[in-house]
């Protein structure tokens, strides 16, 4: 650690009577302390981070990142190093689904994202050290005293040798049991926990995923992680926190799980077990002289929906630039005081919404009516927008960092140098049936280019689906292939097994935001020659399968989702050779109309797109005379390209089309307009 005399601290020159060991000592090397270290070093301050743990934690307590946090990590070029994080599914408010992208659909990081805390810490640690921050592990702070011009910190190192360090400021980022907060005498009013959730990461169990599943006696949540362990969380209605000396035993979690769900997980291998409650406390001041607090040291709350981590990182980003400025040319006390003025109300607001969520989430049958009313309110446009903005940290514009690069809409992964597109559908998931070729393929490519994670589906050739996925990935998009034959018994079930598995592996959830019912077969048989078997087959693939796909998808679709059914211009102009086919497409339009009404209360839009003759690569389009004849039917004197139709589907899938439902959109290039 540097021991040179400090010359940089202009703010303190007057009363500084001694050399300092650092400009700022940060206590705690969790994500908040490390981000603060990054900010301070970027601003030119000398930083030492003291951490009592000898090794970084291997427990991933928090893993959800919200839009504002993603934005600040992106501005610092840290997202690439994180992965970049995959979408984290739909959010919630007290366990009621809430699509966080509605906060600001145009935001490049709208929604929520997944990054394990261990990974965030590793990335921030690397950056802080690269910038010159000292990170001392195995150092436990034992004393703290403000002296003229500095704060003196006493600590015990790994060798048990006591040491004393001095810095112009000390910041406690040492979590909810903060030593700095206690030693500096911060007032920390609030309420102790009255309810608790038991949580365990368990290997070797195979139980169904559960998203805030309410049972008669309690709440159960289960999600299988990519590493095969399942995170279970359970709360028994009416139970109060137990007094234990440490974390709960796994046997306690397994017993509660059994009482709530009737399922035995006792044979599983626990990787990590803990309990957390709805305690709510916040310091009355974020700054006392030369000592400041950030993250859980300043506020304690139920860690619901990942808000605690996000709030803490946003504290660190705000404090970092204010504190670093004290060591520049123009130190400014008022700027530093602005930290409390800005972050205390932000924390208070978050604590309020978390408390409201805790009531909805952990209440027993007595809150059922309240939940029902809330669920209704969450369908009214401005309500989800308001709450999503609050949770995402998007309520107030965040002050730009002077040294921050412009926000990037395209990010490059460090490992592969692939470009990941941040488009209007970033954070969304989509299924396009029949997307191995033709209009479906173009649609899958287009939705992926807009940022959606796309399930590419076909029935006959796995290679064809893989090829579409490879082409999307080459372009920086995200997709996976699924195979299922539609129009036969069990086809829809097979489709969803593969879809849910693919989504789960990539997002940790099975939410589907966009369904495009595209797969279809043509007829091409004269009206006199259509056989019952041909008729049944056309109906099975083109009408029956879309109906049951839609019906099944509704269980996966959050409110505000999009359903687009590919119809045909043949529902508007006659071609006797395709009468049976056209009848199936007429059925599609009915599917659209009636489900649009049915799903309106959930803000799910349902629309039909009717292509005209569209070049899907079949040989007839290579015959000049035939192509000219077909082109002449369109007002533009050309046949449609698959991209023409995909663009219409992408529009309907996006937020700009939120006011269109139950519609038939003609995408036939003005076919047979007359005249």
By CB under 6 A, name the binding residues for ligand NAP.
434-440, 458-461, 485-487, 518-521, 541, 566, 568-569, 611, 613-614, 616
230/565 with CB nearer ligand NAP: 565
Check if the beta carbon of residue 447 is closer than 8 Å to that of residue 478: no
Given the complex with ligand NAP, which of 184 and 541 has the nearer CB atom?
Answer: 541
Least distance CB 660 / ligand NAP (angstroms): 19
Q: Give me the least distance between CB of 482 and ligand NAP, in Å please.
A: 10
SS3 state of residue 190: strand
Distance, CA of 363 to CA of 356 (rounded, Å): 11
What's the token pair of residue 114?
């997944």
Distance (Å, whole) CA 512 – CA 500:
9
407, 75 in Cβ contact below 8 A? yes
Q: In the bound complex, what is the minimum distance in angstroms from residue 675's beta carbon to ligand NAP?
A: 22
Residue 222, beta-bridge partner list: 210, 232
* Cβ contact 50:162 at 8 Å: no
Neighbours of 216 (CB within 10 A): 8
Smallest gap from Cβ 496 to ligand NAP, in A, equals 13
The answer to whether residues 40 and 24 touch, using CB atoms and an 8 Å cutoff, is yes
Q: Which residues pair with 112 in a beta bridge?
A: 66
- Nearer Cβ to ligand NAP (409/462): 462
- Torsions phi, psi for 114 (to 5 deg): -115, 125
Nearest approach in angstroms of CB 654 to ligand NAP is: 20
Instruction: Kindly provide the b/e burial profile for residues 317-341, where b requires at least 16 CB atoms within 10 angstroms of the residue's own CB.
Output: bbbbbbbbbbbeeebeeeebebbbe
The residues near 149 (Cβ < 8 Å, ≥ 6 apart) are: 12, 14, 15, 16, 17, 18, 168
Asked whether the beta carbons of 47 and 39 are under 8 A apart, the reply is no
When the beta carbons of 105 and 569 are compared against ligand NAP, the nearer one is: 569
Report which of 57, 117, 207 is spatially closest to residue 233, judged by C-alpha positions.
207
- Cβ-based nearer residue to ligand NAP, 191 or 620: 620
**Closest separation in Å from C-beta 618 to ligand NAP:** 7
In 3-state terms, what secondary structure has residue 270? Answer: strand
Closest to ligand NAP by CB, 89 vs 520, is 520
For 38, residues 6+ apart whose C-beta sits below 8 A from its C-beta are 76, 124, 127, 128, 131, 133, 320
CB of 380 to ligand NAP, least distance (A): 34
β-pairing verdict for 664-667 and 140-147: unpaired
Please state, in angstroms and rounded to a whole number, the distance separating the CA atoms of residues 28 and 49.
Answer: 7
Query: Residue 64 or 567: which CB sits closer to ligand NAP?
Result: 567
Our CB check for ligand NAP shows the closer of 275 and 653 to be 653
Q: Is 15 exposed, middle or buried (0-12, 13-18, 19+ CB in 10 A)?
A: exposed
β-strand partners of 223: 231
Question: Minimum CB separation from ligand NAP for residue 491, in Å?
Answer: 7
For 222, the enclosing helix (H) or strand (E) is strand 218-224
For 297, the token pair is: 């040291």
* Contact criterion met (CB below 8 Å) for 482 and 457: yes
Let me know how many helices (H) and strands (E) the chain has, helices first: 18, 31
Lookup: tokens for 243: 């007094």
Closest distance of CB 424 from ligand NAP, Å:
23
* Shortest reach from residue 29's CB to ligand NAP, in Å: 52
Query: Which CB atom, from 123 or from 649, has the smaller least distance to ligand NAP?
Result: 649
Residue 599 CB, shortest distance to ligand NAP, in Å, is 21
Return the closest-CA partner of residue 70 out of 308, 285, 292, 313.
Answer: 313
- Which CB, 170 or 652, lies closer to ligand NAP? 652
Q: Which is nearer to ligand NAP, 6 or 568 (CB)?
A: 568
By CB neighbour count within 10 A (0-12 exposed, 13-18 middle, 19+ buried), where does 194 fall?
middle
Q: CB 611 → ligand NAP: shortest distance, Å? A: 4
C-beta closer to ligand NAP: residue 424 or 568? 568
Of 418 and 537, which has the nearer Cβ to ligand NAP? Answer: 537
Structure tokens of 367? 């809150």
| Coil/strand/helix, residue 63 | coil
Nearer to ligand NAP, 485 or 643 (CB): 485
Is 638:437 a contact under the CB 8 Å cutoff?
A: no
**Minimum distance from residue 522 beta carbon to ligand NAP (Å):** 6
User: How far apart are the C-alpha atoms of 105 and 385, rounded to whole Å?
Assistant: 10
| Least distance between ligand NAP and beta carbon 542 (Å) | 6
The nearest distance, CB 541 to ligand NAP, in angstroms, is 4
Q: In the complex with ligand NAP, which residue's Cβ is closer, 179 or 671? A: 671
């Amino acid at each position: 650690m540097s021991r040179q005399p400090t010359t940089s601290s202009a703010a303190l020159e007057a009363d500084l009577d001694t050399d300092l060991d650092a400009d700022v000592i940060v206590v705690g090397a969790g994500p908040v302390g490390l981000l603060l270290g990054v900010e301070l070093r970027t601003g030119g301050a000398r930083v030492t981070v003291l951490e009592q743990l000898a090794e970084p934690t291997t427990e991933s307590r928090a893993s959800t990142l919200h839009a504002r946090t993603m934005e600040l990590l992106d501005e610092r070029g840290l997202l690439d190093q994180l992965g970049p994080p995959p979408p984290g599914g739909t959010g919630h408010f007290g366990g009621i689904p809430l699509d966080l992208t509605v906060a600001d659909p145009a935001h490049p990081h709208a929604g929520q994202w997944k990054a394990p805390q261990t990974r965030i810490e590793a990335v921030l640690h690397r950056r802080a050290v690269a910038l010159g921050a000292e990170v001392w592990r195995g150092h436990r702070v034992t004393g703290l005293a403000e002296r003229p011009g500095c704060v003196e910190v006493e600590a015990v190192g790994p060798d048990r040798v006591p040491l004393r360090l001095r810095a112009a400021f000390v910041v406690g980022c040492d979590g909810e049991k903060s030593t700095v907060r206690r030693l500096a005498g911060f007032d920390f009013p609030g309420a102790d926990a009255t309810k608790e959730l038991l949580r365990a990461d368990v290997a070797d169990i195979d139980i169904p995923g559960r998203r805030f599943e309410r049972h008669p006696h309690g709440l159960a949540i289960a999600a299988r992680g990519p590493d095969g362990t399942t995170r279970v969380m359970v709360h028994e209605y009416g139970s109060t926190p137990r007094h234990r000396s440490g974390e709960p035993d796994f046997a306690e979690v397994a017993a509660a799980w059994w009482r709530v769900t009737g399922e035995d997980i006792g044979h599983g291998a626990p990787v990590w077990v803990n309990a957390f409650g709805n305690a709510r406390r916040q310091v009355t001041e974020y700054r006392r002289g030369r000592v400041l607090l950030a993250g859980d040291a300043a506020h304690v709350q139920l860690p619901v929906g990942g808000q605690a981590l996000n709030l803490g990182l946003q504290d660190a980003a705000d404090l970092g630039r204010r504190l670093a400025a004290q060591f520049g040319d123009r130190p400014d006390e008022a700027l530093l005081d602005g930290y409390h003025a800005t972050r205390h109300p932000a924390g208070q607001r978050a604590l309020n919404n978390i408390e409201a969520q805790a009531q909805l989430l952990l209440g027993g049958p007595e809150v059922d009516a309240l939940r029902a009313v809330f669920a209704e309110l969450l369908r009214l446009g401005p309500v989800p927008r308001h709450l999503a903005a609050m949770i995402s940290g998007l309520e107030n514009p965040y002050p730009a960092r002077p040294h921050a690069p412009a926000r990037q809409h395209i990010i490059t992964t460090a490992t592969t140098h692939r470009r990941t597109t941040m488009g209007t559908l970033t954070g969304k998931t989509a299924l396009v049936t029949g997307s191995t070729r033709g209009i479906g393929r173009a649609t899958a490519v287009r939705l992926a280019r807009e940022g959606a994670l796309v399930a590419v589906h076909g029935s006959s050739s796995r290679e064809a689906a893989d090829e579409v996925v490879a082409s999307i990935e080459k372009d920086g998009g995200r997709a996976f292939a699924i195979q299922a034959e539609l129009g036969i018994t069990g086809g829809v079930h097979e489709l969803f097994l593969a879809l849910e598995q693919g989504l789960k592996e990539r997002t940790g959830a099975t939410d589907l935001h966009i369904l495009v019912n595209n797969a279809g077969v043509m007829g091409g048989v004269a009206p006199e020659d259509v056989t019952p078997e041909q008729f049944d087959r056309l109906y099975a693939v083109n009408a029956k399968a879309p109906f049951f796909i839609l019906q099944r998808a509704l269980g996966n679709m959050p409110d505000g989702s999009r359903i687009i059914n590919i119809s045909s211009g043949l529902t508007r102009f006659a071609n006797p050779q395709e009468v049976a086919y056209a009848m199936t497409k007429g059925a599609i339009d009915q599917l659209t109309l009636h489900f649009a009404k049915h799903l309106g209360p959930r803000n799910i839009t349902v629309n039909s797109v009717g292509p005209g003759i569209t070049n899907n690569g079949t040989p007839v389009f290579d015959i000049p005379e035939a192509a000219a004849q077909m082109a002449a039917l369109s007002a533009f004197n050309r046949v449609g390209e698959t991209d023409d139709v995909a663009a219409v589907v992408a529009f309907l899938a996006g937020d700009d089309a939120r006011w269109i439902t139950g519609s038939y959109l003609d995408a036939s290039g003005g076919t047979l307009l007359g005249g």
